[in-house]
Amino acid sequence: MSPDDTIHAAIARFTDWGSPWKFYDVVRESLSVDDKPRFEAIWQEAMKGEHWDSTSLQKCTSTAANAVSQKFPFLEGSVVDAVANAAAYQWK
């Protein structure tokens, strides 16, 4: 499995959306030391303040998802949405 596939799978495996604040730690802990920097880059893109400067959480989440999708095109839409939704929880 390629590093991108591993990261994609780790993000897709997160299902505890009743506790979205756990997303970052759960995904990061499931990755190897070599894969963690790539995930960190994805997370940092989603968390950039410039994506979260609107009063509409929905608009901000969409902006963050678009940015992640553009920077990391290997991620499927559902995985991008998961990252953006978890980031939204951190910004609310």
- Per-residue pLDDT of 48-77, as tens digits, reads 999 999 999 999 999 999 999 999 998 999
The CA distance from 43 to 53, in Å, is 17
0.75 exceeded by pTM: yes
C-alpha torsion sign, points 92, 63, 25, 79 = positive
92: pLDDT strictly greater than 80: no
33: pLDDT strictly greater than 70: yes
Mean local confidence (pLDDT), 38-46: 97
3: pLDDT strictly greater than 70: no
3 against 2, higher pLDDT:
2
Give me 11's structure tokens. Answer: 């993000």
79-85: Cβ within 8 A, 24+ apart: 79/8, 79/11, 79/12, 82/11, 82/12, 82/14, 82/23, 83/11, 83/42, 83/43, 83/46, 84/46, 85/17, 85/20, 85/61
1: pLDDT strictly greater than 70: no
Mean local confidence (pLDDT), 16-26: 95
